[in-house]
Amino acid sequence: MEEFDLKRFAKTAWQKKWLIIAIMVISMIIGYVYSYFFVVPKYQSATTIVLTKVETAGESDGQDSITQTDITMNKSLVDTYSNIITSNKVSKTVIENLGLDMSEEDLKEAISVTTGETTAMLKITVSNENAELARDLTNEVAKVFSEQIKEIYKIDNVNIIDEAELEMVPYNVHHVKDLAIFFVLGLFLSGGVILLIYMLDTTIKQVEDVENLKLQVIGVVPLYEKDCETKMLQEVKKDYKPTKSKRSKESELIVLENAKSPITEAFRTLRTNITFSRGEGDTRNILISSSNSQDGKSYVSSNLAIMFAKANKRVILVDADMRKGRQNKIFKVSNSQGLSNCLVDMTTRARLELSQMSKYIKATRIPNLHVITSGDRPSNPAELLSPARIVKLLELLDTMYDIVIIDGTPSAIVSDSIAISKFVDVVLLVASYKNTKTETLAKVKKSFENVGGKITGVILNKYPFSKSTYTESYYYDDTKNGDKKDIEQQEQIKTVSEIIEEATRNPKTRERRVTYEKEDNIWEERSLANIPRDEQNQYLEYKIENISNELVNIKNLFIQAMIENKKIDPRDIADIKSEISSMKQMLDLRNDLDVSKEIRDEIESVKAITENLADIQRENNEKVRKFIEDYRKRRG
């Protein structure tokens, strides 16, 4: 069980103060209604009886003083007399004498008898809604009781000291007491409700909740409340008037619209913390994920990217949420030719040239900040994010940009971000105040650790802040009429083409290209028979890569042949089919190879499409013949 935190409980009670007040008010209203409208007033009348000298009924022993024997006997008779007072016979006689329409049981319940601790005294009390009837009943009960004692015991030792009087004040109506009782009940009820909320509410409400999971809070982003910023600005700057250039309802790029906002300052601090989070290590690739949707990972990613761009960094923001990516909407750019299209165009071994990246990267209105949107929604986003593709894509982007920020997926829902986490420098999780649950965050942390990833820090988003927080953020702002320039100025503004051209001249890029060419030559000169077993899987990947490239050409030529209504020679298609079948046989004969399911599926796909080509078109056309000739030359 979670350890009880008094400070957190008090904070929860303060946050729910209006609920406590509501419960207290409702409790007091119920107490008032109960006390004034539901409590039936009842009146009590009492008479006191004392047991004196025991005398035989109708006779006297001539002595006036009471003896010790009388005292002892009277004390022994107190309990017996109490039972006689509440007996059926006494009640029945009282009802008959007063002519009442009342049952004996009702009268017995209305009668109470109390005895003295040291004296032979009895106090008879009768309660009734009618004050006069309560008095009459009390006196009549005492009278009948005295007569019954004489009749039963043949003695006369009952003396009435005080006769019952008319009581004008009901004994059971205490308005102040009732209200006090309901106040205390309301207090206990509200305390129980707060305790229940405290026990059941496991959402993150303070930094300590994250730190208890052995995670570091690397930044806290305040909550943006509607019209709050405008009101604060008007109080701090008396001459402030909101303009159309201020943040609109649709915009999420707060750091771009207001450089002096507490939210902007929070992102500035977050940028600094990330920069120094790896010590002397270089921070280039940053993955931002969350536990669930609506935590604000896309909002944090976009604003953080702007902050790095403002620090004169070349930044690329990659929307890796190929299911529900939003960066195209945030930056108002087209979503065509995005990440999904880029990954599809990459071959099995993730070969993609820098020149090809220009069609996937989109410029934004923020200098030095470019975006790769999520692209067309694929049917297999998880499969597209294979390690080979991710590594090669990051290599390309690292040669072009200083900072690569990846807007990932909610890790408690899908595992895309978890797979990417192994290949980036910094992994950040966005946790939403009073939305993200601690157990969910702990589960996500374990998922990252299971694949070898490590969460660098947690960003606590939507954290509430006070009025003083806003006031302090403007304390040092002596701007007049908004003509003060932002100290974070971009010294260099480069287009996508310029960045690609600069990266092309990078020695690392040339070195990578030479390495790929050497690998291709090595694979071309070797066969499966003379390749060591630990390298055979790589050889098969290379062969599948070539088949995949040629399949694209086959598709294009086939479509063109269909349009031009030309014929394809079945023998040429049969040659391609034979080559693919031989590849499949190699896999079947070497089942112990570590060949991924993706490679096998690719072979089956190529084979199926080739068979369809052979079935549909049996005759030849000039372009397909030329392609087949080139294909045979590469084989031979």
Dihedral sign (CA 319, 322, 323, 328): positive
* pLDDT per position as a tens digit, 356-369: 788 899 989 888 89
Per-residue pLDDT tens digits for 110-140: 999 988 766 678 899 999 999 999 999 999 9
| Residue carrying the six token digits 């049996």 | 618
CA pair distance 207, 216, nearest whole angstrom: 9
Does residue 493 fall inside a structural domain?
no
Q: Which of 224-233, 329-338, 577-586 has the highest mean pLDDT?
A: 329-338
Same domain, 298 and 419: yes
Residue 399 has pLDDT above 70, yes or no: yes
Encoded amino acid at 202, one letter: T
Q: Which of 500, 537, 542, 498 is nearest to 517 (CA)?
A: 542
Domain boundary among 418, 451, 466: 466
Lowest mean pLDDT among 245-249, 258-262, 371-375, 546-550: 245-249
Ranges 85-94, 104-113, 142-151, 606-615: which has the least confidence: 606-615
pLDDT per position as a tens digit, 1-33: 456 777 778 888 888 899 999 999 999 999 999
CATH of residue 398's domain is 3.40.50.300
Residue 629 belongs to some domain of the structure: yes
- pLDDT of residue 287 exceeding 90, the answer is yes
Query: Do 373 and 424 have their domain in common?
Result: yes
Residue 246 has pLDDT above 80, yes or no: no
Q: Residue 245 pLDDT more than 50?
A: no
User: Could you give the CA distance from residue 33 to residue 39 in angstroms, rounded to a whole number?
Assistant: 9
pTM of the full predicted structure? 0.59
> Residue 429: what pLDDT?
93
Of the residues 135, 162, 189, which one is the last residue of a structural domain?
Answer: 162
106 and 31 in a common domain: no
State whether 190 and 333 are in the same domain: no
Q: How many domains does the chain have?
A: 4
Q: Are residues 285 and 190 in the same domain?
A: no
How far CA 46 is from CA of 125, 242, 525, 587, in Å, comes to 4, 79, 121, 108
Length of the chain: 636
Same domain, 354 and 430: yes
DSSP state of 219: E
Question: Do the domain assignments include residue 515?
Answer: no
Least trusted range by pLDDT, from 100-104, 217-221, 226-230, 307-311: 226-230
Same domain, 132 and 186: no
Residue 304 falls inside a structural domain:
yes
Is 167 domain-assigned?
Answer: no
Report, as an integer, the average pLDDT of 593-618: 57
DSSP 157-210: -EEEEE------S-SS--HHHHHHHHHHHHHHHHHHHHHHHHHH--B--SHHHH
Angle at 235 between CA 234 and CA 238, to 5 degrees: 65
Q: Is residue 374 part of a domain?
A: yes
| Rounded CA separation 537/102 (Å) | 103
Same domain, 394 and 438: yes
Same domain, 143 and 213: no
The answer to whether 441 touches 430, Cβ cutoff 8 Å, is: no
Which tens digits make up the pLDDT trace of 541-578?
555 555 544 554 455 455 555 545 555 556 656 656 66
139 shares its domain with 69: yes
Judgement on whether residues 277 and 399 belong to the same structural domain of the protein: yes
* Residue 212: domain span: 207-224+273-466
- Of 368, 391, 264, nearest to 312 (Cα)? 368
Is residue 338 located within the same domain as residue 455? yes
Residue (of 70, 80, 48) closest to 149 by Cα position: 80
What is the per-residue pLDDT for 181?
Answer: 94
Tokens linked to 622: 């000039």
Is residue 535 one of the residues assigned to a domain?
yes
Q: What confidence score (pLDDT) does residue 247 get? A: 44
* Residue 152 belongs to some domain of the structure: yes
